């Protein structure tokens, strides 16, 4: 791995020509001859991170975080704490004419690759062996928006980002609607081809939305911690894909689920009085629709209770709250054709699900018309 014990020593690397790199991102353009090599600290503002709330430094590496860690303990779940440190939906982007991209990474075991896009089109998809390593990836060489999506199923630390053969180095301006997507493994995504190919990533890329993925596989239990994070995070659209985990784990009863939904939504609404909130009530699963769980509920029951909670809040005056019945997104009879295991979409199913969800969400952010940033933008 490049550098010494601290990633900050890596950031000042290069051949000494052109402009110096700095975390404040004040210098965006390297002029004159093409640089042989330049290394950036992971927190350099020119990297244009999105889908993150901050960074955790350990030694010479940085872990991008999608949810603040200060009060994670209030969830009282080691598994939730683990998932909260996995960079699902986390990416950075630069505009550069570099010929090579170098990534110094330290990855934990996991099935997801790193995706590198050039002007919105997949250029590289690389699976990582556990441990520290360097990826050396060819780039087009002309002015290009290069976007790197980190693996979404394992913790991946970044030590440094290197570029070779460039004059241009600038952050990518992000002006699209900010979308917070909360949910279960269906939102986290288990089987996409890569992190840029989950249904949430595909939909965000298609419309230029700024995705913040708060999907937590097996842990979408309406934790107050998460409601407060969403409340305090700028957003132009919030989606809550809920009900599946509550049913499978039998953690709520007919008495407790509806009030929990109301409390979660109302906490979010405290910080977003005018933001559209779409509650996606339990995407269907053929094997679970009519099977009673340990709490005495079927998946259909949980969906109905979710709808009842949303209707109560609507009657109480929440005109920006929207119900999306999972069966309106995906008919029950077609669910098995989308899933790999009766619950999670196949890689192709992620693409189809993006198309099915699209007409339910796109009208909610109709006031935005973000301009595409590259000819291949989805």
Least confident among 34-38, 76-80, 90-94, 156-160 = 34-38
How far is CA 337 from each of CA 265, 294, 326, 331, 332, rounded to the nearest angstrom? 32, 27, 15, 11, 10
Which residue(s) pair with 179 in the sheet? 211, 237
Contacts of 160 (CB under 8 A, 6+ apart): 1, 2, 3, 7, 10, 11, 13, 39, 40, 41, 42, 102, 104
| Tens of pLDDT, residues 70-88 | 999 999 999 999 999 999 9
Output the six-digit token pair for 305: 């209770």
Lookup result for tokens 């991209």: 101
CA gap 258, 297 in Å, rounded: 13
| Tens of pLDDT, residues 220-241 | 999 999 999 999 999 999 999 9
Pick the closest to residue 274 from 230, 236, 317 (CA basis). Answer: 236
Who wins on pLDDT, 174 or 329? 329
Q: What pLDDT does 32 receive?
A: 60
Q: What pLDDT does 366 receive?
A: 80
Computed over every residue of the chain, the mean pLDDT equals 90
Q: What pLDDT does 173 receive?
A: 87
Say yes or no to pLDDT of 248 above 60.
yes
Buried b (16+ CB within 10 A) or exposed e, 322-360: bbbbbbebbebeebeebbeeebbbbeebbbbbbebbbeb
Say yes or no to pLDDT of 301 above 70.
yes
| Tens of pLDDT, residues 316-372 | 999 999 999 999 999 999 999 999 999 999 999 999 999 999 999 999 998 654 333
Give the percent of the chain with pLDDT over 90: 85
CA gap 278, 370 in Å, rounded: 21
CA gap 151, 36 in Å, rounded: 28
How far is CA 313 from each of CA 96, 255, 265, rounded to the nearest angstrom? 48, 17, 9
Q: What pLDDT does 104 receive?
A: 98
Q: What pLDDT does 111 receive?
A: 79
8 Å CB contact between 89 and 35: no
How far is CA 375 from each of CA 71, 91, 173, 199, 329, rounded to the nearest angstrom? 42, 20, 16, 21, 30
Pick the closest to residue 374 from 143, 211, 171 (CA basis). Answer: 143
Say yes or no to pLDDT of 6 above 60.
no
Predicted structure pTM score: 0.89
Which residue(s) pair with 178 in the sheet? 210
Output the six-digit token pair for 210: 């700024």
The alpha carbon of 89 is separated from its chain's Cα centroid by a whole number of angstroms, namely 2
How far is CA 204 from each of CA 134, 178, 231, rounded to the nearest angstrom? 29, 9, 21
Q: What pLDDT does 129 receive?
A: 92
Q: What pLDDT does 29 receive?
A: 53
Contacts of 6 (CB under 8 A, 6+ apart): 59, 60
CA gap 217, 34 in Å, rounded: 44
């Amino acid at each position: 791995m490049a550098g010494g014990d601290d990633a900050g020593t890596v950031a000042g690397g290069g051949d000494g020509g052109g402009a110096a790199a700095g975390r404040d991102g004040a210098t965006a353009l390297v002029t004159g001859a093409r640089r042989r090599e330049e290394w950036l600290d992971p927190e350099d503002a020119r990297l244009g991170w999105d889908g993150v709330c901050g960074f955790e430094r350990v030694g010479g590496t940085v872990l991008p975080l999608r949810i603040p860690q200060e009060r994670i303990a209030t969830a009282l779940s080691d598994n939730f704490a683990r998932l909260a440190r996995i960079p699902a939906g986390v990416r950075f982007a630069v505009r550069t004419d570099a010929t090579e991209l170098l990534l110094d990474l330290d990855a934990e075991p996991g099935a997801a690759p790193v995706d590198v896009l050039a002007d919105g089109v997949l250029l590289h998809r690389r699976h990582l062996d556990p441990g520290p390593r360097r990826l050396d990836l060819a780039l087009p060489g002309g002015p290009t928006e290069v976007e790197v999506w980190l693996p979404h199923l394992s913790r991946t630390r970044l030590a440094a980002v290197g570029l070779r053969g460039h004059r241009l180095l600038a952050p990518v301006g992000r002006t699209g609607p900010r979308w917070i997507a909360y949910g279960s493994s269906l939102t986290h995504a288990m089987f996409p081809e890569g992190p840029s190919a989950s249904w949430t990533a595909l939909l965000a890329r298609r419309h230029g939305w700024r995705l913040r993925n708060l999907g937590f596989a097996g842990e979408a239990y309406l934790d107050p911690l998460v409601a407060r994070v969403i409340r305090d995070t700028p957003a132009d659209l919030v989606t809550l894909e809920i009900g599946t985990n509550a049913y499978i784990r039998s953690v709520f009863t007919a008495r407790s689920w509806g009030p929990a939904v109301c409390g979660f939504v109302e906490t979010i609404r405290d910080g977003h009085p005018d933001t559209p909130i779409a509650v996606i009530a339990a995407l269907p699963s053929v094997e679970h629709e009519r099977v009673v769980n340990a709490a005495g509920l079927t998946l259909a029951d949980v969906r109905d209770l979710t709808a009842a909670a949303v209707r109560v809040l609507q009657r109480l005056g929440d005109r920006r709250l929207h119900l999306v019945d999972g069966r309106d997104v995906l008919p029950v009879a077609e669910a098995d054709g989308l899933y790999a295991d009766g619950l999670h979409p196949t890689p192709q199913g992620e693409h189809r699900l993006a198309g099915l969800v699209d007409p339910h969400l796109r009208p909610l952010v109709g006031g935005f018309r973000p301009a595409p940033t590259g000819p291949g933008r989805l």
